[in-house]
Amino acid sequence: MAKIDLSLNNLNELFPSDFTQEQTAKAKTIFLKELALLAHKFYGGKMQTLPKAGLYGFNWFNVWYTPGVSKISTTIRDDNLTSFDVSNRGNMVAVVSDSTRVLGDGDVTPPGGLGVMEGKAYLMKYLAGIDAVPLCLNSYNENKEHDPDKIIDFVRMLEPSFGAVNLEDISQPNCYKVLDTLRESSDIPVWHDDAQGTGAVTVAGLVNALRIVEKDISQVRIVLYGAGASNATIARLILQAGGDPEKMILFDSKGALSKDREDIKADQRFYRKWELCQKTNPDRINDIEKAMKGADVLISLSKPGPDVVKPDWIRLMGTKPIVFTCANPVPEIYPYAAKEAGAYITATGRGDFPNQVNNSLGFPGILKGALLVRSRSVTDNMAVAASYSMANYAEKKGIHPDYIMPKMDETDMFAYEAADVAMQAIKDGVARVESDWDTIYNRTLEDIGHTRHTIDMMMEQNFIKKPDTALLEQALNKAIEQVR
């Protein structure tokens, strides 16, 4: 065992040498969860609010507030779009959730999602220089049921204060109605990261995986295991990127999607799934092993593993199979087990394995690009543009089976992505302002640099306090103890 380091760069070396791969993977998960709880208690959460304007003397109070600020009110009154220029609205995102489907934990009650929503806000700020506010709401109606209309009304009411909305962790089928209604009716981008975000990053990883194995997206057979908001949107974006619906099969908890699924057809709330029932699986295959035989790609977003996807399924796949198992916090099968079963390229949603297909690579750059051109929405074309932006960035660096996606510490990737998305927004006619690729790229890099410099300075000056390594050791000892 190595000595624990505050950077956690030696994470894989912290566990006993006699641990098996599965024990180490399990211990890492427990360690990160335990450390998260201790660190969140230490800091009291992850986010705070600080001014961006200076105070140079007493009368600046009268500039930032009354009487001076009256001019800001009347200016915005006369032209609402000036709110993007004279307030922080143009760089402000609302992270909205009813906390009904948080990671692999399901419904965690309305305040239970705060840790994740603060996490989204943290990543937006650090990775793209975006300010974000976590907003967990109580969506219960009088019958104690989660009501999608309450989320829709909530977002409509808060729209004047934000430049974009990131929907998060809303269970299906409510998520479909919430997103589609707000995309049609809102005048700012409304983005569902569990759906569009997961879709964009997964398509990016798939594009490069197919480049490596030299297969065409229009020719490959794809099995999607799980048919929730994430995989349903992944399927839609794969089709948008050129995939063949007749070579695609999706499975949910009741079997394969096809025209035979009268249960889905009868429940209009699942209209997105019914659309896929009509387009995919024309042979109406309903057996997972039959579907996997000769398949080129498996994309699983179902439930946490590690025994959800079976090695025998992977052994049935075609040449150089691609296996994405992206359930959080534990993939449906660990990458090493998938490779032992014959997978050529594997990916998960975690950063402690190669090929992290994680939304954090997508939403900061996508939303930054949308904000900088004041886009009215994030179109499917913009999501696919982000997919190819991520894929092309990694390809230029040199892709191989263990590197199909950029990594979160490749800072300029987010600026590259923001610029590509902004250009697509202009092309799609949803941008309010014109710009050029270089301007968006440079502005994004500047905002990221400002954020990083501020955080570094706060850490150096102890305004962000450094936790004692005893905190890490406590979490590590607990993880080892539980696995032993």
Strands lying side by side in the sheet with 92-97: 131-136, 92-97, 164-167, 190-192
* Paired sense of beta strands 92-97 and 131-136, if any: parallel
Peptide bond into 329 cis (omega under 30): yes
Do 158 and 190 contact (CB within 8 A), yes or no? no
Q: Name residues whose C-beta falls within 8 Å of residue 198's C-beta, 6 or more positions apart in sequence.
A: 230, 233, 234, 301, 326, 359
Catalytic residue of the set 120, 177, 247, 273: 120
The answer to whether 65 is a known catalytic residue is: yes
Do 358 and 351 contact (CB within 8 A), yes or no? yes
CA 72 to chain centre: 35
The answer to whether 215 is a known catalytic residue is: no
Give the C-alpha separation, 352 to 332, whole Å.
Answer: 15
Catalytic residue of the set 41, 43, 65, 290: 65
Q: State the CB neighbour count (10 A cutoff) for residue 9.
A: 8
Where in the sequence numbering do the catalytic residues fall?
65, 120
